[in-house]
Amino acid sequence: MLRFMPVGDSMTIGSAGEHTWRYRMWQHLRGTYGGPFAIVGPRETLYDKAVDAPVSYEYADPDFPRHARRHLAGWGEGWLHMAPLIRETVKRERADVLLVSLGLIDLGFYTNAVQTAENVRRFVTEARLADPGVRMVLLPVIPNVRAEADADFATEVDRFNELLAKAVADLDQPASPLLLASVPESYDIHRDTYDGTHPNASGEHKLAGAFADAMYQAWGLGEAYAVGA
């Protein structure tokens, strides 16, 4: 059984009333992956903005099974926060494939591009200490409203994404492959988010598709993602 673990920030945990890209990925894998799989992780809730805490179980689809809601994601958490957690989490959850969407929070509040890239490398090292064969798919920082409004921040995002690509190239190993997912060219913060940052339904599909297409193209895993599936 292949065990997938979504890792991310607010765009991955999602908030009360949303489907999340995790849900779209689960649907995609259920329809295209030709073998048994599981979604794993130590958390399963959504973030509740009303109480400012990750305590909600109000997914948009109430039939989204609890066993498929698992993740390691947190509102306001980044590479800085996940690197110290990932070794023990991979070991405990026996995760085979990490689907990682991080970086915006780091750059916005905690670390510059170089420091953030250093935490990426720490994350990869720690994950491999738990499982030398773990596979990872890393998504660059996607378009967001702050980058559109702040040229200096946009430059920092571009710099980090370049460093992320270099880290993937440097750290990729046959026994523990790393993939750099591609941000969909059609991703538009005015159409694919509800606030310039967090994905709406179309954005969720595009983020899930970025991970799914990377795994299909590089590893032959599943099929190409069908938006709206």
> What's the pLDDT at 229?
44
Question: Rounded to whole angstroms, how far apart are CA atoms 44 and 37?
Answer: 17
> What's the pLDDT at 36?
96
27 pLDDT tier (thresholds 50, 70, 90): very high
Q: State the DSSP code for 54.
A: E
Does the model's pTM come out above 0.95?
A: yes
Three-state DSSP state, 108:
helix
For the chain, list the domains and their CATH numbers. Answer: 2-219 (3.40.50.1110)
Q: In Å, what is the CA distance from 69 to each residue of 42, 58, 123?
A: 10, 11, 23
DSSP E strand boundaries for the chain? 2-8, 37-39, 46-48, 53-56, 72-73, 97-101, 135-139, 178-180
Question: Rounded to whole angstroms, how far apart are CA atoms 134 and 128?
Answer: 6
Question: Rounded to whole angstroms, how far apart are CA atoms 141 and 107?
Answer: 10
Question: What residue has token string 């920082």?
Answer: 141
Nearest 5 degrees, angle CA 155-CA 74-CA 106?
A: 20
- In the predicted model, what is the mean pLDDT of the chain? 97
> What's the pLDDT at 46?
98
What are the residues whose beta carbons fall under 8 Å from the beta carbon of 125, sequence distance 6 or more?
none
Question: Rounded to whole angstroms, how far apart are CA atoms 186 and 191?
Answer: 10
> What's the pLDDT at 226?
86
> What's the pLDDT at 227?
73
Question: Rounded to whole angstroms, how far apart are CA atoms 44 and 21?
Answer: 14
37-59 average pLDDT score: 98
> What's the pLDDT at 54?
98
Q: Which of 32-36, 46-50, 207-211 has the lowest mean pLDDT?
A: 32-36
- pLDDT over threshold 70, residue 80: yes
Percent of the chain, pLDDT > 70?
Answer: 99
Question: Rounded to whole angstroms, how far apart are CA atoms 77 and 48?
Answer: 15
Three-state DSSP state, 199:
strand
Q: Could you report the per-residue pLDDT of 145-174, keeping only the tens digit for each? A: 999 999 999 999 999 999 999 999 999 999
Q: Which backbone phi and psi does 53 adopt, to 5 degrees? A: -160, 150
> What's the pLDDT at 170?
98
